[in-house]
Structures are given as structure tokens and as C-alpha cells.
Amino acid sequence: MIDVLIDVGGTGLKITYSYDGKINPEPYLFNSKATENADNIIKNFCEIVLYVWEEAVKKCGKDVLSNIYMAFPGPFDYKNGVSKMKGLNKYDSIFGVNIPQAMNNCFSNMGLDIKPNYKFIHDIEAYAIGVCKQHKLNEKKVIYLCIGTGAGSAYTDNGVILKNGCGVPENGWFYYYPFKSGTIDDYISVRGIENLSIEYMDKKYSPLDISIQAKKGFKAAIQVYKVFGENLAEAMHKPIYDFNPECFVIGGNISKSSELFIAPLLDSIKKLNCELIVEDNTSEMIFHGLSTLS
């Protein structure tokens, strides 16, 4: 029996499969088509599932598509598989669409009589579950932060996702906390780094471009990440103080450049006897989290 695992992003879809509890270590990357109409988005989901399913059959010889597990950013109705995203310039056209029903209809229109089981989870929660499992953090209190288009967060205690209470904000999300002249999301994100590049480099650069220049020794680029690191340490003071975790985990693509900005946060959490883990293989951890849904 084959399970298909999908990490749904705004620009790309990373997808792989698992069989007998083993995850294929080489995921496939597809365009998300997130700005297209609903029919095209659903058809795209179905076509990539079929492609990966066929690849799985070739490699493992098993041909039953059992489950489709999808990690979606919010807002999203995870119980029913209905997107609630609107006005974010991604997946607007599938707002209110029941994705399992729409995909089953699409499969039927393709002449396929398949109705797999569907399960959905917040992408940062999938990451948190994967990290918790892979890094053996099941007996610790942990905060997880994935830095991307925004500041995605999750909390676990004894391996269980926490949604609120005891220092945990609603849904485990602190992106909206006030910070400086805006919110944490405004500063601890891609746009937060881009805004710093405008300030210190007189032009908007992507985080990757800035990191490349910083590693080459360009002082302005180094300064961008230095200030970003200081903002990160300051912004995380309240979440860490409120929850008092034993471990803090950072992921997201920006974490691949963590050596440029992590020092201030490391200094501040060491004083609290809190361990810091940088786990930059974000999609791999999401796939591990998805695999636990079976």
C-alpha cells in the first residue's frame, strides 16, 4: 500500500511517497499553480499524485494508493480538507472548496476509480512532529519556528502538539504578536529581511542573494543578517519567556544561512538553559510528520 505525501507551498509542491513505513528520500518538485483557477489547481494536485504513484509502483512493486496526506499552510479547515486562504495571492480560487471531494471528482473524470483516504495537517505542525520524532524530543517542551513568507510556529510537550494554554498562544501561532512598529511576522520573515536589504544595501535583495554576498564578505549584507539576528532574538523573548521550553527549533529555507544570524538568539536562550536546534531540511521533516498520520 502506497501513501502519497505532499508539502503544499505557495510556489512549489514537494511530493514523495511512503510504503511499509519507509519514505522515499528523493522528493519530486512541481509548480503549485497556486494563482490559477480552482479546476487547474485541483487537476494539478491529481496529476502529480498519479505521477508519483506510478513512480512508486515502478520502484516498490506495490500498486494500491491508500492515503494522500497533505501539509497545507493556514488558514485551513484541516478536519474537512477545505482551504480558507483568501487575499494571499495563493490558492484564492479554491477558497471553500472541499479538496478530497474535488480530487475524487477529478480522478473520476480521468476515468480512474480510486478514492484514497485524505488527511490534512498544518505544514508547521507536520514539521514539528517530524523534528520531534527524528530528534527524539518526545520528552521535552519545544517551540518550533519556520521562517519563510511569515513566522510559522508550533509547540509540543511530550510529543503532543499544543494549541493553546500554559504559555501557548491560540493555535500555537505567535506571528501576530506586536513587535517594534508592526508584528513578529513583519520582521521575522522573507519580507523582513528584504526590508533590511533596502535599508542597508539600498536595494531589495532576496535572502539567498544577501547570504551569498554576506559569505563573500560584503559588509552591508553581513549587517543585514546581523540586524535580522538581533530582531529574531528580541522577537522570540516573549514566546520563550511565556512557555519556558527546553528546546527551540528553527527551520525554513532561511535557516540554511543560520550561521549569519543565529548568534544573538543562541546567546539569549543559553541563559535560560534552553537547547537550540537548527533543522534546515524542512520538507524532509514535514514528510516525516505526514507519515505519522497513517
135-164 pLDDT, tens digit per residue, is 999 999 999 999 998 999 999 999 999 999
End position of a domain, from candidates 125, 153, 182: 125
Q: What CATH code is carried by the domain that includes residue 10?
A: 3.30.420.40
Q: How many CB atoms lie within 10 A of CB 74?
A: 16
The number of distinct structural domains making up the chain is: 2
- Confidence class for position 251, pLDDT limits 50, 70, 90: very high
Strands 182-183, 247-251: pairing kind: unpaired
257: Cβ contacts below 8 Å, ≥ 6 apart: 207, 208, 211, 214, 225
The C-alpha atoms of residue 179 and residue 231 are separated, in whole angstroms, by 9
Q: Residue 224: its pLDDT value, please?
A: 98
Percent of the chain with pLDDT over 90: 87
**One domain, residues 163 and 214:** yes
The C-alpha atoms of residue 22 and residue 82 are separated, in whole angstroms, by 28
**One domain, residues 171 and 71:** no
Distances in Å between the alpha carbon of 18 and those of 57, 59, 202?
Answer: 11, 11, 47
End position of a domain, from candidates 89, 104, 125: 125
Q: Is the model's pTM score more than 0.85?
A: yes
The C-alpha atoms of residue 226 and residue 261 are separated, in whole angstroms, by 5
**One domain, residues 117 and 9:** yes
Distances in Å between the alpha carbon of 160 and those of 25, 140, 164, 245, 292?
Answer: 25, 10, 12, 14, 12
Is 234 in contact with 188 (CB distance < 8 Å)?
no
**One domain, residues 16 and 71:** yes
Mean pLDDT on 171-184? 97
Q: Tell me if 91 is assigned to some domain.
A: yes
Give the residue numbers spanning the domain of 222. Answer: 136-278
Q: Bridge-partner residues for 18, per DSSP?
A: 3, 23
Task: Provide the b/e sequence for 235-265 (b: ≥16 CB within 10 Å).
Answer: bbebbbeebebbbbbbbbebbbbbebbbebb
**One domain, residues 231 and 256:** yes
56-103 pLDDT, tens digit per residue, is 998 887 678 889 999 998 889 999 999 999 888 789 999 999 999 999
